[in-house]
Amino acid sequence: MDQGTTTNPLGAAVQAIRAARYVTAMTGAGLSVESGIPPFRGPGGLWTKHGEPPMNGYEQFLEDPKAAWEARLNPKGPMRVLWETLQAARPNPGHYALAEMEKSGTLRCLITQNVDDLHRAAGSTKLAEIHGNYTLVRCIECGGRRHRDEISLDQLPPVCESCGGIVKSDTVSFGEPIPGDVLRVCQEVSRDCDCMIVAGTSATVYPAAQFPIDVRQRGGVLIEINPYESELTPICNISLRGPAGEILPQLVDTLGAAS
Ligand code: APR
């Protein structure tokens, strides 16, 4: 099936989802635009406005973890905008629709590049947060995660209670390897997946962008949800052009109606 042959992409998407054995989704910043968090690229993107951040954030953290924590606790510029909108954001109908798809058994797993905790807040539990979660901190030695409210910031950088390692935000910095535990889940899920809904991502950052490509190369179906074209558009079977907060609920309603 290719998107050029269908005049009813929503119907085609429902048909593909119902025919699939293992449906997953991968989301990006576009999912949270309707929750008030700006994307990074494209219209209104933080990097579009302020330029891409340094690609060696993790190296800088390792060089001076105390300074990195102080900068994080007192963000400036685009990071301040991101931080403030993260604090204020609540899930939108797109997040709830994906949680509904998990609850109904349609969606097996959701890989998200977003660190905003909104999928979890909307009720998604089968979730792989490949770039981490801003409400958590993680030890860079043992990988142990805790909620950020459970650690003391009297001493910077905080150290891990279990192994004494340095603790950083769970959000993956540029140049930081994706933590092995979450990377393994993403690799297993995309290996088993034969239909992936790709919503709200420019698909420009790896390894996340590789998962839909692998699904497609193995003959799986890609359904894109995005108001604009992305790097993935040329290999997507179906493209649903529009905001995720409108299209995902339509998809869930049509799926339900068709059952
Ligand atoms: N609904 C769906 N998609 C939308 C919406 C919307 N309402 N608004 C914008 N988009 C699309 C844009 O067209 C764009 O393709 O969301 C995408 C956002 O792309 P990016 O800002 O690049 O976000 P993402 O793909 O998640 O970036 C990946 O880059 O900076 C790093 O770590 C950061 O996780 C992020 C990664």
Q: Is the shortest distance between the CB of 230 and ligand 1 below 6 Å?
A: yes
Residue 133 has pLDDT above 80, yes or no: yes
pLDDT of amino acid 259: 56
In this structure, the residue with its CA closest to atom 23 of ligand 1 is 29
Instruction: Please check whether residue 169 is in contact with residue 190, taking contact to mean a CB–CB distance below 8 angstroms.
Output: no
Q: pLDDT tens digits for 93-118?
A: 999 999 999 999 999 999 999 999 99
Q: How many CB atoms neighbour CB 206 within 10 A?
A: 10
Alpha-carbon distances of 56 from 61, 114, 172, 186, rounded to whole Å: 9, 19, 11, 24
Question: Rg of the chain's alpha carbons, rounded to an integer?
Answer: 19
> Please, what are the domains in the chain?
1-37+92-134+173-259 (3.40.50.1220), 40-88+136-170 (3.30.1600)
In this structure, the residue with its CA closest to atom 29 of ligand 1 is 205
pLDDT, greater one: 124 or 3 = 124
Q: pLDDT tens digits for 46-90?
A: 999 999 999 999 999 999 999 999 999 999 988 999 999 999 999
Q: Say which of 50, 119, 131, 147 is annotated catalytic.
A: 131
Q: Which atom of ligand 1 is nearest to the CA of 27?
A: 26
Grouping H, G, I as helix, E, B as strand and the rest as coil, residue 48 is: helix
Which tokens belong to 88? 């204020």
Q: pLDDT tens digits for 203-233?
A: 999 999 999 999 999 999 999 999 999 999 9
